[in-house]
Amino acid sequence: MRTSIKQLVALSAATLSCVAAQAAPAKRPRLVVEIVVDQFRSDYLDRFDDLFLPAGRGQSTGGFRFLRERGADFSAARYPHFPLFTAPGHAVVSTGGYPYKTGIVGNDWYDKSARSPLYSVSDSGAKVVSDDASSKAKPMSPKNLRSSTLGDELKMATGGRSKVVTLSLKDRTAVLLGGRLSDASVWFDDSTGRWVSSDFYCKTGQLPAWVHDINERKIPNSNFGQNWVGSLPSAVLNRGWRPTGAPPFDHPIHGLGSQFPHPVNGGQTAPSSAYYKAWVLTPWANQFVLDSAQQAVQSEGLGKDEVPDLLAINLATNDYVGHAFGPDSPEMVDITVQTDKQLSKLFRFLDRTVPGGLANVTIALTGDHGVVPLVEDLAAAGFRAKRIEESEITTAAQNALVERYGAGKWILDYVEPSLYLDTDALKAAKIDPEEAQKVAARAVAALDGIYTAFTATQIEDGRLPNNDIGMRIAKGYYPKVSGDVMVITEAYHFIEGSPFSNNTTHGTVYSYDTHVPILLNGFGIRPGVYREEVSPADIAPSLSQILGITYPSACDGKPLAAALR
């Protein structure tokens, strides 16, 4: 049989195209996984490195060391804005933009038109979507976020074919990581122990079936009455810097007590809201979030086809533990080491589940802010360190305004980090608001432990010092949202409501709050240790480059080009 030239050409063309199809490298990852470990300081990676699983490969893939040693490790990442809270930090990660553009200037702020404090993601026009009628969760949406997110841009770029799923114990992080076009954004309802969402995401008024199935299993209840015991020998858990030698505080933490072993029952005889508030501080809660994320991958088919999907997860437990016990506590050692094991489990699952394994997945991990060491420990060692009661701030400002302008309630509220003056009352009394801001700012700045206070007028006119703090203020102020006087503490000082509800916190302009890891791994990433100063705002444009999509609308960050293939 003779083969014609035409047939030969057709045959070889077919063979060639077949070879090309096999050999052509994928242009995009199948799945992008963003992990924000809440309150995760950069130094944790080094301090606990010897306790982490080896980097490994395939079904022996580790956690943090896998990300660092087989990926790009940016060891000098710092947030350049102020204040360092969860909502602004997550908006930076998801949009690549700072509060001056995203409008997310705090976890909360004060709404002068409604004359009441406003939670960053609350939306009275939305409805809670829960499968438990007893839910006391409040309605949430991204309506106050003035930017698209990476997930939004991915949905737009693929005509909606990409899937975007976000999960967190915290509503604000699930919402701010998700944005407006997310397919499923769910958060934990500590009134019921179940995942909930909002009708902003669940247009049918029902949770996705896989979420409902998880809820029906009542997984959080299975730990009721157990103790959280440290998973490592006492000498290892107690390796932190503790000059006071003992827990220096005595604040009630949901019945957990101040030392291992921590009874997890919320002081109750059966699972209830008090129990769930205690449970979220345990490693079981992080495992629940990550197991639910695995279910999302399976049920939503994330990474299944060549259209890239996005899974974004916040691990809030690390933050709760830091607030309760501090960065040098045995609990911080334990939760970080357990997080490492839990991440390893997720990565091994992805390696088995996504076609082509982890090579077809891009992983980005960071923190949303750090945390102040316990001021009791610092003070015991001779550092200038203390808590400042919020009432000191409002009283100083109010007294100064009364002294200058006479009797009146001139302050509406202090919502960290800003004082809000009663502009209507000032106007009615024909008082120049700019001058009133100055009077309040001077009084607050004079307080012990306060570094300085900036007025809104000063910020809007660009009259800020040409230094690190001036830059942070400029990046953290949104004219229609921010307050009238922004308050900056000295290092190792923080302002807290009365009575103090946390043993330590975050939010300041200093290194312990601003320095977080950025770890990139997998598809499109060039492994290595990178020591140039970068920002978590660079994550969104880097992932946008890998995905070949437009940057989120408020993006300020720059691609981490050295680490991109």
- Binding stretches for Zn ion (CB under 5 A): 38, 86, 319, 368
What DSSP line would sit under 53-66, residue for residue? PP---GGG--SHHH
Q: Judged by CB, which is closer to Zn ion: 31, or 324?
A: 324
Minimum distance of Zn ion from residue 107's CB (angstroms): 8
Minimum distance of Zn ion from residue 163's CB (angstroms): 26
Strand pairing category for 361-367 and 31-37: parallel
CB 473 within 8 A of CB 508: no
Rounded-to-integer distance, Cα 530 and Cα 183, Å? 34
The strand order across the sheet containing 450-455 reads 411-415, 418-421, 485-489, 450-455
What DSSP line would sit under 246-262, residue for residue? S-------TT--SSSSE
Q: Judged by CB, which is closer to Zn ion: 42, or 455?
A: 42
Minimum distance of Zn ion from residue 247's CB (angstroms): 22
Which residue's beta carbon is nearest to the bound Zn ion?
Answer: 86
Minimum distance of Zn ion from residue 315's CB (angstroms): 10
Minimum distance of Zn ion from residue 170's CB (angstroms): 8
3-state secondary structure 37-54: ECCCCCHHHHHCHHHCCC
What DSSP line would sit under 87-112, residue for residue? HHHHHHHHHS--HHHH---SSEEEET
CB 87 within 8 A of CB 106: yes
Minimum distance of Zn ion from residue 320's CB (angstroms): 10
Minimum distance of Zn ion from residue 126's CB (angstroms): 23
3-state secondary structure 412-430: EEEECCEEEECHHHHHHCC
Minimum distance of Zn ion from residue 514's CB (angstroms): 13
Minimum distance of Zn ion from residue 39's CB (angstroms): 5
Closest CA to 436 of 466, 406, 392: 406
Minimum distance of Zn ion from residue 173's CB (angstroms): 7
Dihedral of alpha carbons 288, 291, 293, 295, sign: negative
3-state secondary structure of 500: coil
Q: Judged by CB, which is closer to Zn ion: 34, or 319?
A: 319
Q: Judged by CB, which is closer to Zn ion: 392, or 416?
A: 416
Omega of the bond leading into 373 within 30 degrees of 0 (cis): no
Dihedral of alpha carbons 179, 293, 324, 341, sign: negative
Q: Judged by CB, which is closer to Zn ion: 42, or 362?
A: 42
Rounded-to-integer distance, Cα 23 and Cα 17, Å? 10
Closest CA to 391 of 383, 402, 399: 399
CB 152 within 8 A of CB 180: yes
Closest CA to 505 of 493, 488, 521, 517: 493
> Cα–chain-centroid distance for residue 355?
29
Q: Judged by CB, which is closer to Zn ion: 112, or 323?
A: 323
Half-sphere exposure of 388 (CA within 13 A, CB side): 27
Minimum distance of Zn ion from residue 510's CB (angstroms): 16
Enter the tokens of residue 498: 């009365």
Q: Judged by CB, which is closer to Zn ion: 367, or 483?
A: 367
Rounded-to-integer distance, Cα 118 and Cα 337, Å? 36
Q: Judged by CB, which is closer to Zn ion: 328, or 368?
A: 368
Q: Judged by CB, which is closer to Zn ion: 315, or 554?
A: 315
Minimum distance of Zn ion from residue 367's CB (angstroms): 8
Amino acid at 380: A
Q: Judged by CB, which is closer to Zn ion: 447, or 495?
A: 495
Enter the tokens of residue 99: 């509060």
Q: Judged by CB, which is closer to Zn ion: 319, or 513?
A: 319
Q: Judged by CB, which is closer to Zn ion: 38, or 328?
A: 38
Q: Judged by CB, which is closer to Zn ion: 207, or 289?
A: 289
Minimum distance of Zn ion from residue 200's CB (angstroms): 22
CB 524 within 8 A of CB 565: yes
Rounded-to-integer distance, Cα 46 and Cα 79, Å? 19
